Structure 1
Amino acid sequence: MSIALSHPHYYSTQVEWIDTFNAPIYIHEDEKEWVVRPSNKIIFWSGESFELTNGIALNRIGGHFKGGTVLH
């Protein structure tokens, strides 16, 4: 299991999610400045797309946050 966050509105509770679900969180590297509660289970990815598993990828789409992400 892993958690993919779409944009910084959810970063305030991400550490609780990591602890509750014992799962890493994937965040686009363009959003590093917004992460105020770091964890060694936060994985920053780069580029336009990141494959989580066969057939499931994170895609950076930008928007009102530079690293805005959708799961596809």
Structure 2
Amino acid sequence: MSQRKLFRYYIDQSIQQQQEQKLFLTRVNRWRFNTLDKSNFLKSTRPIKPILFGLACLAVYDWTYGFYRIDEHH
């Protein structure tokens, strides 16, 4: 093997290794962000859910009982 071919061989090997590493990291990151995204979304909406539930309960209560009281006054 001449010097140039050997040099070319090592360059090709390193390029291939870098591409494999890049593909691996892409897959790992895709998996990490796909799993993290859902949990973070749930964590971020966790404090809002009870508030929304409470507002919905108040609206239903007002719809069922609040209007009867208004009607009774007249």
The verdict on a shared fold, with TM-score over 0.5 as the criterion, is no
Could you say which structure has the higher strand fraction?
1
Larger Rg belongs to: 2
Could you say which structure has the higher helix fraction?
2
Normalised by the size of structure 2, how large is the TM-score?
0.17
Relative contact order higher in (CA < 8 Å, ≥ 6 apart)? 1
